[in-house]
Chain A
Amino acid sequence: MIRVVLPAHLRALARVRGEVELEVAGPATQRAVLDALEARYPMLRGTIREHVTQQRRPFLRFFACEEDLSHEPPDAPLPDAVASGAEPLLIIGAIAGG
């Protein structure tokens, strides 16, 4: 079981509160976790990764275990603590005013 923390606006879109818990088949990677997230919450498709390119949207970052994973390859293994559910994968929106 993998835990994911979404930004507030995406929690509202997905109509969830708090963390999301996902079962991910196979190795826990960014791609596998986001695929599982979008399969459970299809309204999030296109909001984290661009529809066609599957690139992370530029104003979003991925963090876990106090590390910035935003620029890690999508198929790189996530930290063991994320894979085990001890720590969540954080999807963070860039801070901006206005």
Chain B
Amino acid sequence: MSTVRVLVGTRKGAFVLTADGKREKWDISGPHFAGWEIYHLKGSSVNPNRLYASQCSGWFGQIIQRSDDGGKTWIQPGTPPGESTTAPGGMPKGESNKFVYDTSSGTGKPLTTHQWYDGTQHAWEFKRVWHLEPSLSDPDTVYAGVEDAALFRSIDGGQNWQELAGLRGHGTGPKWQPGAGGMCLHTVILDPSNPQRIYIAISAAGAFRTDDGGKTWQPINKGLYSQYIPNPTAEVGHCVHHVAMHRSRPNVLFMQKHWDVMRSDNAGESWQEVSGNLPTDFGFVIDVHAHEPETIYVVPIKSDSEHFPPDGKLRVYRSRTGGNEWEELGKGLPSRDCYVNVLRDAMAVDALDKCGVYFGTTGGQVYASADAGDSWAPIVRDLPAVLSVEVQTLP
């Protein structure tokens, strides 16, 4: 029988939740990296026991951790304890937590400032890794979306990181500005049908796409309307919260923007609003059913100033029509006095039949549905605030 492994990043450590295919009884392992913020952890689809984790702290900065046994043990790539810091030949070993923006004349651009909250220009400063996206073909290749917004890549299992500087340098960088959570590159989507195509999203710059493996990028924000920015239809400046794609249809994208749920059928060239009958179209997460590419999920949040569910009722909304027509899913979820949030990387699906759907809350609950959202139950209730949820379906 298949196994499901749920990888949960929280404000105070990582947790690994496992169950068999029935998804009824869960084993909970953790906290790993207790006391540290774990923004994201994710497994390689090529080698599911290869996991990457972003561990960070306001005191000690960024750490990258890697596991090769499904999360039982972890190392900092390139720097095992007790070994020499230099490789044979005298070259320094990898520094897996070293993220340095590329400003070289050869591959980088001399781009050093972006827009600050008050409209002035502000230096780019590395703060943390928000999202780790393992390659679809090589377990040693992994992408990192970071704050201040940039995309990095490692091709040696997380030991060394190089910026794909064409993104920051493509021309609109000085217009990017931080959202309340920081200027983060939080979404990285690799096109399974085209290794040269990558989608990313930044708060608050918008969505971007490369078709040449990261050398050059273009904004893909036509059709987005953001009334909170001076030009609501600007090329960049939109606060995109998350983007999702079904691997069978890589040209179809779904977006939860600050406000508005959006859809693109042409790889982001243009977007249409599909908020339809949602009670509020503000939110953070969005995800797609594993087997039904027109079935999507969001968790409506009351507003940008009140980050909790409307009326204190935690509800997932599902559309089986790719948007516009939404149904409320609440069986097993709190119907009163619930004032948690569900952050942008905190929803995921498994690949079983029926599709499992999972999400974590800032109140520390991880909810699971083993029937595509029809009913829900908490796997665990009292974790630290959940920052991210990823799911692996193991044979």
B61, A13: Cβ atoms closer than 8 Å:
no
Q: How far is the CA of A59 from the CA of B85 in the complex (A)?
A: 26
- B contacts with A: majority SS: loop
CB distance from A62 to the nearest CB of B (A): 14
| 8 Å CB interface, A34-52 against B | 38-39, 41-43, 45-48, 50-52
Q: Does A71 contact B (CB under 8 A)?
A: no
Which chain B residues lie closer than 8 Å to A13 at the CB level?
A: 60, 63, 76
Which chain A residues lie closer than 8 Å to B76 at the CB level?
A: 13, 43
Q: How far is the CA of A57 from the CA of B57 in the complex (A)?
A: 11
Q: Does B97 contact A (CB under 8 A)?
A: yes
Within the complex, which residue of B57, B58, B60, B93 is in contact with A42, where a contact is CB–CB below 8 Å?
Answer: B93
Total contacts A-B at CB 8 Å: 58
- A contacts with B: majority SS: loop
CB distance from A48 to the nearest CB of B (A): 7
Q: How far is the CA of A39 from the CA of B82 in the complex (A)?
A: 10
Q: Does B36 contact A (CB under 8 A)?
A: yes
Which chain B residues lie closer than 8 Å to A93 at the CB level?
A: 59-60
Q: How far is the CA of A41 from the CA of B84 in the complex (A)?
A: 9
Q: Does A85 contact B (CB under 8 A)?
A: no
Question: Interface size class for chain A?
Answer: 20 to 34
Which chain B residues lie closer than 8 Å to A17 at the CB level?
A: none
| 8 Å CB interface, B68-112 against A | 76, 78-79, 81, 83, 85, 93, 95, 97-98, 100
Binding site for A on B (CB under 8 A): 35-36, 57-63, 76, 78-79, 81, 83, 85, 93, 95, 97-98, 100
